[in-house]
Amino acid sequence: MYSINPNFPQYNYNTTGRTKTERVIVNTEKPVNRAPQGYVTNPKYNVPFNAALHSSDFRTRFISKEEKEKYNDLQKMLDRQSKKNLDALLKKGILLNADSNDKSTVLDNLHKIATTPRAVGLNNIVTLKETISTLNNPFVINQEFGDIPAKYQDYAKQANSAGSTNRFEKKNAEADINVTHSGTCVAASIEFNMAQKHPAEFARFAEGLSSPQMSVKKEIHLTNLADNTLDAVWLLNAFEVPFEAKDFNKATLTFAPDKNAIIRAQIQTTDKDPQERSVIDVLMQSTLMQVGSQQSYNSLTDKRQGKFNQNDKGLIEFEKTFTESVVEDKNKISVTYQTVDENAKLIGYETDMATLKRHLVQSLDRGENVIIGYTQVDKNNTIINGHEITITGYKQGKDGKLTFICNDTDDNLSKQIEYSEDYLLPKIHHAALPHDIVENDVKLVENWVEGLKNYKELKKKQIEQSPQMVPLHQSALQQAA
């Protein structure tokens, strides 16, 4: 888990979509995505290249009586559209995919969702249908919170004001819950990537997070967090992720949404409006925000606390990289391309646009999605917004220029969108990329090193501003510092 450290302030990626000046091209052609040799695109289902779905265990037929029975059980419970979606998952090789942490298939987890108890206030069939729909078309993933209906208002207000010590705090806490536009673009992008590239793991998370335990365990390789095992353990402690170290190579982590996520999930179960988050979106995004914010997220207010960030919305680049790394169990590298001064003014780039484009194309050629953070600037080149989207492919025009195929979880579109390279590349602040693609072009700094540096700088500023108000908490992070 590495990053580039260009020595400028971290920017939160928490804003809600594009401005009116942006050029968006709705997809009308199939993306090229230049898949590896031997892969044949299926024109009927338009399946993007995915190594997990094109390995030796790729299956579209049942091989046991138990699988067939589970499939038939689900078909009996579903409406016409959901039956079609389930059948499409089978034909695309998704339903029987077992690329999950415990080797369970999508079918196994869908059957659990349908036939075993769900968390209080959640409905088996609603959760099942939404999981199937998301796996069949991950572009339906949304970060729009939606309203809290009148019948839930008192319930939500009481939950959010439970810790208030006076009337003023209580009033503010009660008013804080009416959030519609969220700062969960990072979490929603990671959710999208999991649904599209790791469907069995997505289904396993959906089952565990919606179960009465409202949690899921995942075994990861510590070397995907840091070269040194002790540094990896430091990171897990710093982010306060519950874990059990099995040996010097692996650890089992426990992921769970924040305590108020169940309220949002219950609301979306009974009162979901068009273009709002699904129950699965609520649970997944809350869990991922918890991971990145050091277990400090609040689903009712869409605010976070945490030791690495003074802003109460969204996640910074360091937090995003950690979250991607543990969720995918991959050594993710966050490469920063924009140079920004201490006043948040864009003053240049760390690489040229040709190098940036090559990094993206080589990653996409491997079948990897690339989650990027892009910025918007004012007339003085000062950054005014940041947003996270996912690049899923590209195509080349007759002029040789590329058009990037993207997903934006905050555009109210349940399909891919397209950006020209001339428009998108200069806006890219950072991107998560494979180590070997970028190692010869940029200087990599292990992420824990940057995190510790940022933490020390943040604490120093807090002490300078209000020394009497900053107690020295004895956390694992500060002990390490």
46: left (phi over 0), alpha (psi -120 to 50) or beta: left
Alpha-carbon span 345 to 352, nearest angstrom:
18
- Kindly state the tokens that stand for 150: 């009148």
Q: pTM of the full predicted structure? A: 0.85
User: pLDDT for 401-429, tens place per residue?
Assistant: 999 999 999 998 899 999 999 999 999 99
Q: What is the pLDDT of residues 20-40, one digit of tens each?
A: 334 344 443 444 444 333 323
Torsion 9-14-16-22 (CA) sign: positive
Residue by residue, DSSP assigns 409-439 as TTSS-SS-EEEEHHHHGGGEEEEEE-HHHHT
Instruction: Tell me the per-residue pLDDT of 279-318, one tens digit each, with 9 for 90 and over.
Output: 999 999 999 999 999 999 999 999 999 888 888 999 988 8
- Our CA dihedral for 34, 186, 146, 199, rounded to 10 degrees, sits at 50
Handedness of CA 238, 243, 249, 250 (dihedral sign): negative
> Reduced to 3 DSSP states, what percent helix, strand and coil does the chain have, rounded to the nearest 5?
40, 15, 45
CA atoms within a 13 Å half-sphere pointing along the CA-CB vector of 402: 21
Give yes or no for residue 476 having a pLDDT over 90: no
Measured distance CA(74)–CA(95) in Å, rounded: 12
| Average pLDDT score, the chain | 85
Comparing C-alpha atoms, which of 49, 39, 20, 45 is closest to residue 394? 49
Measured between its terminal Cα atoms, the distance across the chain in Å is: 19
Mean pLDDT (whole number) for 44-62: 61
Domains of the chain: 2-34+330-448 (3.90.70)
Q: For residue 197, what pLDDT is reported? A: 96
Helices of type H across 36-105: 65-77, 80-91
Going by C-alpha positions, the residue among 304, 310, 239, 306 that lies closest to residue 465 is 310
pLDDT digits over 40-51, tens only? 333 333 345 565
The confidence score (pLDDT) of residue 62 equals: 95
Closest CA to 266 of 155, 184, 129: 155
Average pLDDT score over residue span 136-158: 94
* Residue 344 in tokens: 């948040």
CA-to-CA distance for 197 and 167, rounded, in angstroms? 48
Give the separation between CA 327 and CA 172, rounded to whole angstroms: 34
**Distance between CA atoms of residues 106 and 200, nearest Å:** 5
Burial of 380 (0-12, 13-18, 19+ CB in 10 A): exposed
Q: To which residue do tokens 């693609």 refer? A: 437
- Of the listed ranges 60-64, 100-104, 191-195, 438-442, the one predicted with least confidence: 438-442
**Confidence class of residue 451 from pLDDT cuts 50, 70 and 90?**
low
Quick: pLDDT tens for 212-269.
Answer: 999 999 999 999 988 889 889 999 999 999 999 988 899 999 999 999 999 999 999 9
Q: What is the C-alpha to C-alpha distance for residues 106 and 70, in angstroms, rounded to an integer? A: 11
